[in-house]
Amino acid sequence: MATIERVAVVLFNLGGPNNLDAVEPFLFNLFKDPAIISVPNPFRWLIAKLIAHRRAPKARKIYAQMGGSSPILGETQAQAKALESLLTAQKHQIQWRVEIAMRHWHPFANEAVDRLEKFAAQRVILLPLYPQYSGTTTGSSLKNWDRATIARSFSKDHRLVCCYPDDKIFIAAHIDRIAAEITTTRRETERGQPLHILLSAHGLPKRVIDRGDPYQWQVELTNAAIAEGLKARGLVGPETEIVTCYQSRVGPLEWIGPATDAEIKRAGAAGAAVIVVPVAFVSEHAETLVELDIEYAALAYEYGVVRYSRVPALANDEEFIACLARLVMAALSDKDTSCPIYTGMASSNACSKAFPTCPVCGYDTA
C-alpha cells in the first residue's frame, strides 16, 4: 500500500483582535514588530507600549463598529477550509492540512507549528495572504515563522511563495468583481458620467520603500494588470480614470502616494463617480469595513462624489482560491517557484536586485 504524503500549507496573515479587550495588546504586538518600528529594545518595547495605549481608545471604537472584533480570522479560516478542499480534490493522493499563522494576534506561528507537529507534516508550503511582498508583512511573518520553527526544532522541507502581484487568476478575480460594480455604477448614473476607479492599497512610509522594499513596485504591477484587463474587456472608456493610490496613513512621516482620500476629493471636484478596489487586502477588516466603507464614503459625499462604492475583498472567491491552489501546486514541483515573478509564473519581469529586502533577490535576515 502506497504511503500517503502529508503536506501542510501555512497561510500568513496579519491577525486582528477577537474582542475589545484584545485591541490594546494587538496594537502592542503590531508596534513592537521590528519590521514596523526599527529601533532596538528596550526602546521599541517602550514605544510600542506608549503608542498602543494612546491608540487603543480610538481603535476600540473602530472595532465596536464591526461588532466588537475583527472579521479577519473568520475570513482566513474560510479561505483555509476552501483551499484545503480544493487541494484535496485536485490531488487526493496527498493528505492536506491548511493552517493559519497570524503575525500579531492568535493563532500565532508557534501555535501553527504545534498543530503541524501533531499532523506530522512532511512538507510545508508557506503562502502569504499578502499578494504584494513587503518586509513589513510577508517578510515579518517569514522571520517570525523561522523563529517559531527553530525554537521547536521543526525542520521540515519548507517552500515559500513570496508574492503573486500579477498572477493571471488573481487579476481575473479582481476584474470580475470590478466589472460587476462598473455595471451597477453606470446603471445608476448618467450616460457619460466621469468615473474614477481607485485601486487602493495600504500605504507605507516612503523611507521603507527607499530602503529597497518592492511593495510599491508590486502594487503597481497589480494595478497595471487590472487596468490592462479592464481595457481588454471593453469595460472602461474615455470617461474612466484608473488611479493607483494608498490609504491608512498614520504619523508624521512622508508616505507613498497619492493618498486615497486625496483622490476621493479630486474625484468630487471633477463631478465623478468613484469605485474603490482594495487591491492589497484579500480579507475584510478595519481598513475596508470602517476606513473605506464608512470614513471614506462620508468624505466622498462631503466633497461631491456622484456615487461612491467599494468592491468587496476577494475573501474565499472561487477564482482567488484557485489562484492559491495553483501557487501551492507549483511550489510542490521540483522547479524553484519561491517567487512567481522571478520564475516567470506571473507575466512580469524578474524582481530587480534593487530590492534587497526581497526574500529571493536579497532576503534581509536581520
3-state class (DSSP) for residue 247: strand
pLDDT value of residue 50: 95
pLDDT value of residue 365: 37
Which of 64, 84, 118 is a domain's end point?
64
| Each residue's pLDDT tens digit, 96-147 | 999 999 999 999 999 999 999 999 999 999 999 999 999 999 999 999 999 9
CA-to-CA dists, residue 325 to 89, 130, 217, angstroms: 11, 15, 25
350: left (phi over 0), alpha (psi -120 to 50) or beta: beta
Co-location of 178 and 294 in the same domain: yes
- Is residue 221 in some structural domain? yes
- Is residue 223 in some structural domain? yes
Co-location of 59 and 180 in the same domain: no
pLDDT value of residue 38: 85
Containing domain of residue 41, as a range?
20-64
- Is residue 35 in some structural domain? yes
pLDDT value of residue 299: 98
Which of 295, 310, 325 is a domain's end point?
310
- Is residue 336 in some structural domain? no
Co-location of 51 and 180 in the same domain: no
Antiparallel, parallel or unpaired: β 273-278 and 195-202: parallel
Angle at 365 between CA 17 and CA 127, to 5 degrees: 50
Q: Name residues of the chain where pLDDT drops below 50.
A: 1, 342-349, 363, 365-366
Co-location of 184 and 50 in the same domain: no
Mean pLDDT of the chain: 91
Contacts of 211 (CB under 8 A, 6+ apart): 356, 357
Nearest to 204 by CA among 135, 264, 143, 266: 135
CATH number at residue 201: 3.40.50.1400
- Is residue 285 in some structural domain? yes
The radius of gyration of the chain from alpha carbons, rounded to an integer in Å, stands at 21
- Is residue 185 in some structural domain? yes
Identify the residue whose cell numbers are 460594480.
181
CA end-to-end span of the chain: 46
pLDDT value of residue 253: 85
Contacts of 172 (CB under 8 A, 6+ apart): 229, 319
pLDDT value of residue 352: 56
- Is residue 298 in some structural domain? yes
Q: What is the C-alpha to C-alpha distance for residues 255 and 245, in angstroms, rounded to an integer?
A: 11
- Is residue 348 in some structural domain? no
Domain count, the chain: 2
Q: What is the C-alpha to C-alpha distance for residues 292 and 196, in angstroms, rounded to an integer?
A: 15
| Each residue's pLDDT tens digit, 351-365 | 655 676 776 665 453
Reading the block at residue 174, the C-alpha cell is: 479582481
